[in-house]
Amino acid sequence: MASKTKICIKVYFNPTNFPIAAGIAEKMKKRRGGLQLFTQKKHGLAGQQVANTDGIGRALKAALWAWDKNEASRLEKAAEFARREENLRKEREDAERAGLI
């Protein structure tokens, strides 16, 4: 029986990748535009900041589901490219045998 509790997965970004992830989340419309990357820590000393991760988890989840949903079409396209490549190889071999190349 499946449990209805949520499972938390922690994802760590280094300081150079965090702004990139936030920008991607904004482009995906999963994070409000213009949010500060770091905010003052509640009850913290002056200058203590925490990362503002609003929307990044939603963006990661949406990207994961989109990847899973479109996997079949990606595999079909890859198979089609492989077939085209094989046909072109055969045509080239035939042309070489005929002395056209």
**pLDDT tens for each residue of 30-40:** 988 888 888 88
As beta bridge partners, residue 73 has none
Confidence of residue 81 (pLDDT cuts 50, 70, 90): very high
pTM value surpassing 0.75: no
pLDDT for res 1: 59
Q: Give dist(CA 25, CA 13) in Å, integer.
A: 14
Residue 80 pLDDT > 90: yes
DSSP 7-66: --------TTTHHHHHHHHHHTTSS-TT--SEEEPTTPPTT-EEE--TTHHHHHHHHHHH
**Between residues 101 and 9, which one has the greater pLDDT?**
9
Q: Assess contact for 52 and 39: CB atoms under 8 A.
A: yes
**pLDDT tens for each residue of 51-69:** 888 899 899 999 988 888 8
Q: Domain locations in the chain?
A: 13-69, 70-101
